[in-house]
């Protein structure tokens, strides 16, 4: 859902995740998952080629 809205609002950079609402970075107490998600967002920050860049991560 969120990437649909990000596309509509032309966000500068969007990391698409498939976690439930309220869990943007993953499961409770799953440090590795949370860190991978945050790291993916940071990689998008530095590597995005231009506006409306979007990367979807496969983790659920």
Partner 1 sequence: MFEAAPRFEHEPVWADFTKPLNEARIGLLSSAGIFIQGEQDGFDIERERREPTWGDPTLRPIRSDVNQADIGATHLHIRTDDLLHDINVALPINRLDELVADGRVGSAAPEHFSVMGFQENGAEVWRTTTGPEIAARCHAAEIDALILAPA
Q: What is the binding site for partner 1 (CB under 8 A)? A: 1-2, 4-5, 7-12, 20-29, 31, 34-35, 37-39, 41-42, 45-46, 48, 50-52
Q: Which is nearer to partner 1, 27 or 55 (CB)?
A: 27
In the complex, what is the shortest distance from the CB of residue 44 to partner 1, in angstroms, rounded to a whole number? 9
CA 9 to CA 30: how far, in whole Å?
Answer: 31
Is residue 53 within 8 Å of 6, Cβ to Cβ? no
In the complex, what is the shortest distance from the CB of residue 46 to partner 1, in angstroms, rounded to a whole number? 6
CA distances from 17 to 38, 46, 57 (A): 11, 18, 6
């Amino acid at each position: 859902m969120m990437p649909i809205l990000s596309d509509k609002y032309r966000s500068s950079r969007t990391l698409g995740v498939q976690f439930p609402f309220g869990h943007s970075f993953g499961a409770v107490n799953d440090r590795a998952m949370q860190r991978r998600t945050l790291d993916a967002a940071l990689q998008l920050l530095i590597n995005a080629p231009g506006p409306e860049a979007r990367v979807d991560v496969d983790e659920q």
